[in-house]
Amino acid sequence: MLSGAGAQYIRFQNGRVLRVEDDWVTETVTVSLDKLISDDLETFLDRLSEKVTGQDCLSDIAYSAVGVDTDGDIRIEVTGRIDELLENGELRPATDDEIRQERKTSQSG
C-alpha cells in the first residue's frame, strides 16, 4: 500500500480512494447553492460527509468554501474523522492500482 508516515489510502463506499492521515480525511466537494440555502446545519454536514465518503460517517467536520464553479456550485474543502468506520472494520485499504488510478483521475480533472 502506498502511504506516508501515519497516512494510508482508503477506498470508501462511494468508490473514491482518499488519503487518510491519523483517522482524518480532507477532500474538496461541490454543493449547489440551493442546497446550501435550504439545508439546516445537521443536514448540511450529513450531505458533506456523504459527498466525501458515500455515507454519513464523518465526525468533527470542519469545512471552508474554496471557490465557485462556473455553474454556481460552491467548492467546499471538508475535513472529518473516520475513526468509527476504521474501528468497525467497515473500510478497506486501497490497492496500489486504485491509488494510482485515483491520482491519475485527480490530475486530469
pLDDT at 74 over 50: yes
User: Residue 6 has what pLDDT?
Assistant: 62
Question: Is 40 or 86 the better-scoring residue by pLDDT?
Answer: 40
Across the range 41-61, mean pLDDT stands at: 93
- Predicted confidence (pLDDT) at residue 67 exceeds the cutoff of 50: yes
- The pTM score is 0.80
pLDDT at 4: 45
Identify the pLDDT of residue 40: 92
Residues whose CB is less than 8 angstroms from the CB of residue 99 and which lie 6 or more positions away in sequence, other chains included = 1, 2, 9, 17
Q: What angle do CA 99, 86, 79 make, to 5 degrees?
A: 70
